[in-house]
Amino acid sequence: MIARLLAWLSDPARWAGADGIPTRLLEHLVYSVVVVLLAAAVAVPVGLLIGHTGRGKWVVTSANAARAIPSLGLLFAVALVLGPRLSSDLAFVLPSLLVLVVLAMPPLLSGAYSGVEAVDPAARDAAYGIGMTGRQVLTGVELPCALPLVLSGVRSATLQVVATATIASFISLGGLGRYLVDGLASGDYAQMAGGALLVATLALLLDGILALVQRRVVSPGLRLDAHPARSRRSRRSADATDTTSTAADTAGVAPASAPAASTPSSSPAERSTP
């Protein structure tokens, strides 16, 4: 099977034409980027607003419950409803994009909401204390603090869209999923394996790119892995200080860092005695 897979990937005919790997890869990438951008434009502001106001939490709960809906069944249902009402290629493209947007919204919504909800209340109170408005608190304090979880939601949604876009090929959408559908129809398992490998590779590359973006835009103070050597030195210094203080307290003497108490040379009674 591996030999057949390598032969399929190394075939020059697979790298040219409308059905070539570069064309299918570009189609899959365009679909995924468009879907994530559309879903983020709706879900991220809604999640931030819910986390900021504390109202409408049922929306997040309902969105998470919607993850249990079968993707393929939802795709066929939307295609059957919208397909006859549309003409040209929109009858295939629009239902697929709509379903993918719906499936990408729950992780984006949850990430934005959880990020704002996890903000330290002391930071929020301090912002209000210096006279910042609600919008300024959201954009200047809560959003930067919530950015790690927001970007984690984007990464999760991207992986889900890249993987789920393959099933959209069942209703004649392009992309890498065509290799899976066409290979299944013709019994060409090397083509199916090649398509699956390309989808997995694309998902890993996009996740790696988003991980680099997250590392660049998130403040170092919000990253747990920022300056690990410095963190280890700080922990060792703190542990050594605690150990020294504990040992000093146990022995009944003052720690070395504390100033020694001055002891009078003689008691007041002795000084008053002639």
Residue 204: predicted pLDDT: 93
Residue 206: predicted pLDDT: 93
pLDDT tens per residue, range 71-89: 888 888 888 888 777 777 7
pLDDT tens per residue, range 247-256: 444 444 444 4
Can you list the positions of beta strands (E) in the chain?
none
CA distances from 106 to 28, 207, 256 (A): 21, 18, 56
Residue 35: predicted pLDDT: 93
Number of residues that this document lists for the chain = 274
The ranges of the chain with pLDDT < 70 are 221-274
CA distances from 209 to 149, 171, 212 (A): 16, 30, 5
Q: Give the whole-angstrom CA distance, residue 52 versus residue 137.
A: 9
Closest by Cα among 113, 135, 124 to 57: 113
Q: Give the whole-angstrom CA distance, residue 60 versus residue 50.
A: 9
Provide the whole-model pTM.
0.76
